[in-house]
């Protein structure tokens, strides 16, 4: 059978419709998790890479800034910015920098960049040093609880 040129759009439309009829629908993906910011800056403007390289919070510099997940991330050096840019999920705080303790309790609370822990290669932030100490006593269970509750908490 030879199709005339004018019939090709109709045949293409039929083919696409047939293809869509047999391809199962995928569920809509949830939005990316929110990032806690202070004045639009993630971690209150601290260099997230420094938590891993220096083991402490270090103020970022506006000359080394990057926007990711709706927040501005500041870095102390161009090297730190590049490291984050190459693999942001390796450095970004778990749960968007919100308090990991509060999330494990089913609440959303801001994190304090000075109250942090690195556990299994992931950065966690707590609301205060006191809550961080309590969180560390039972971190594995609290991480599991927060991971389970995190999506629902963001939808509230």
Domain locations in the chain?
Answer: 33-91, 93-156
90: nearest Cα among 65, 112, 68: 68
Q: Taking the model in full, what pTM does it have? A: 0.77
Question: What's the pLDDT at 60?
Answer: 97
* Non-local CB neighbours of 107 within 8 Å, separated by 6+ positions: 153
More confident residue, 10 or 109: 109
Over the stretch 95-140, which tens digit does the pLDDT of each residue have? Answer: 999 999 999 999 999 999 999 999 999 999 999 999 999 999 999 9
Over the stretch 35-94, which tens digit does the pLDDT of each residue have? Answer: 999 889 999 999 999 999 999 999 999 999 999 999 999 999 999 999 999 999 999 999
Helix axes 139-155, 129-137, angle to 10 degrees: 120
Question: What's the pLDDT at 153?
Answer: 86
Calpha distance 155→123 (Å, rounded): 23
Asked whether the predicted pLDDT for residue 12 surpasses 60, the reply is: no
Question: What's the pLDDT at 33?
Answer: 53
Asked whether the predicted pLDDT for residue 15 surpasses 60, the reply is: no
């Amino acid at each position: 059978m030879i199709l005339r040129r004018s019939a090709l759009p109709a045949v293409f439309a039929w083919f696409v419709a047939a293809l869509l009829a047999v391809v199962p629908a995928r569920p809509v993906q949830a939005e990316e998790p929110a990032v806690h910011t202070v004045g639009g800056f993630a971690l209150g403007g601290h260099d997230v890479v420094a938590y891993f390289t220096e083991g402490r919070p270090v103020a970022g510099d506006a000359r080394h800034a990057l926007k990711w997940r709706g927040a501005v991330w500041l870095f102390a050096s161009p090297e730190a910015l590049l490291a984050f840019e190459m693999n942001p999920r390796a450095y970004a705080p778990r749960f968007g920098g919100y308090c990991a303790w509060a999330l494990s309790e089913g609440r959303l609370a801001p994190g304090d960049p000075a109250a942090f822990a690195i556990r299994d290669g992931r950065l966690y932030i707590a609301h205060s040093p006191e809550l961080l100490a309590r969180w560390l006593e039972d971190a594995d269970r609290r991480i599991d609880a927060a991971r389970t509750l995190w999506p629902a908490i963001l939808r509230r």
